[in-house]
Amino acid sequence: MTMPDAAPVPSTSGDAGSTGNTGGWQTIGHSAARLYLQRSHEAGRVAHAYLITGPDQVGKRTLALDLARLVNCTPTPDMFGDDAPPPCGKCVPCDRIARDVHADVKTIDPHTPLLGVSSGTRESTPDQDAARTLISIGHVREMQHDVSLNPFEGGKRVVIFDGAHRMAPDGSGWNALLKTLEEPPENVVIVLLAPTVGSLPQTVISRCQPIELHAVPTGEIEQGLIERGGADPEVAAQLARLAAGRPGRAFAALNDETTLDRYRQAVLRVLTASAGDIEERFRYANEMAREFSRNREMVERELELWTSIWRDIMLLKHELTNSVANVEWTGQLSVVASASAPDDARLAIEAISRAADGLRRNGMPRVVLEVMLLEIPAIPPEIVENMNSADEDEALGGGWDETPS
């Protein structure tokens, strides 16, 4: 089947000034993607399936929910008789979608309960839901049951697969989903969310309209934190820089008072490992490897922090203070920059990149991380000697943006 919109959507980040005056859109940044969906809706050319890709917490799920609001919005005329452009953010469907109680909008991830409404599926228990790490064939079958029914509240049924790349590897889920994508029911929109296009089968990709999201400018995230989150400007500026272009990360930090403390602990771990001897570096690598088997995403975030810190060292080496992300640590990182060789930051970033790539390719975590720690240039030990920490030997257990359990 040919998709209604065959041309791929240009990849987007935020555009300057796009945070304000966005009506009922909740997405921060990504104005090109929002405009594309708005115009597709106005022209009656909303696709049956979309594939939204981008880094974790960059706004994929928020954009998918905005799409659900867009196609189900019933704006109420204002005092002058004019309708607000959808999504208005104020009508009953927009409100119900925002509160996650709309009957026709469903988000599926590995932890979504199975209700046993489809043939071949059984109702799951809370323990089973919590332990599940993949989207199962049961989820797809229940989705197929749902979309075979007419929308209950009117408008369109929207099904969002959050983490579509985490489909069960036996292929049964993809094969079942492919049947729905090939013969989509009327009034149904399926949205797949994944980190990259390459993480999904080509047969699925070819039947979806792609939308690629990139990092949102720091200024837009800062503005969003102030306008929508009510953040203090100073806090907003700090969180926006630390978010590395990911609005979801910044808002999660704003809503969790412990986030900055855990972030400081993570920075301290990185600096302590960088200043440590071979034994300390290997101990850190082994802790990371053990954590990788339990929480892969946490280790990926820790490597992102390594990159962020060495990027700041590189910037400070060239006296580009205004671009530093880890503002609170500017003093310590300036000392590192002054003591480092001209190529140290580049060598460190390349080593971290190789390690991240090795983990993505299923290399042995302990070996990959030990090699990285061997290649990271040493920083002066005195930088961390006087740092105040409740427990410098705390085991790996919380990147700055990880939600507490």
Task: Pull the structure tokens for residue 377.
Answer: 């240039």
Q: How far is the CA of 298 from the CAs of 80, 87, 144, 168, in angstroms?
A: 51, 34, 33, 21
C-beta of residue 19 within 8 angstroms of C-beta of residue 224: yes
Residue pLDDT, tens place only, 147-165: 999 999 978 999 999 999 9
Task: Give the torsion sign (CA, 108, 163, 34, 99).
Answer: positive
pLDDT on residue 16: 35
Q: Is residue 108 pLDDT above 80, yes or no? A: yes
- Any idea where the domains of the chain sit in the sequence? 31-216, 256-385
- Architecture, CATH, for domain 31-216: 3-Layer(aba) Sandwich (3.40)
Cβ neighbours of residue 2 closer than 8 Å, sequence gap 6 or more: none
Q: What is the predicted pLDDT for the residue at 1?
A: 39
Counting every residue, how long is the chain? 405
Strand arrangement of the beta sheet that strand 209-212 belongs to = 105-108, 157-162, 188-194, 49-53, 209-212
Decide if pLDDT at 392 tops 60. Answer: no
At 126 the three-state DSSP class reads helix
Tracing tokens 């994508």 back to the chain, one arrives at 181
Short-list 283, 219, 252, CA closest to 399: 252
Looking at residue 295, what is its pLDDT? 86
The predicted structure's pLDDT at residue 3: 42
Q: Give residue 22's pLDDT.
A: 63
What confidence score (pLDDT) does residue 256 get?
85
The 10 Å Cβ neighbour count of residue 116 is: 13
Residue 216 confidence class, pLDDT cut points 50, 70, 90: very high
Residues 6+ positions from 82 with CB-CB distance below 8 Å: none
Report residue 242's pLDDT band, with 50, 70 and 90 as the boundaries.
confident
Of residues 266 and 398, the one with the higher pLDDT is 266
The dihedral built from the CA positions of residue 318, 323, 328 and 329, taken in this order, carries a sign that is: negative
**pTM, two decimal places:** 0.78
The pLDDT tens digits of the residues spanning 347-376 come to 999 999 999 999 988 899 999 999 999 999
Alpha-carbon separation of residue 80 from 22, 52, 83, 84 (angstroms) = 20, 37, 9, 11
Give the model's confidence band at 387: pLDDT under 50 very low, under 70 low, under 90 confident, else very high. low
Per-residue b or e along 334-353, where b marks 16 or more CB atoms closer than 10 Å to that residue's CB = bbbbeebeeebbeebbebbe
What confidence tens digit (pLDDT) does each residue in 125-152 have? Answer: 999 998 888 999 999 999 999 999 999 9
| Tens digits of residue pLDDT in 314-346 | 999 999 998 888 888 898 899 899 999 999 999
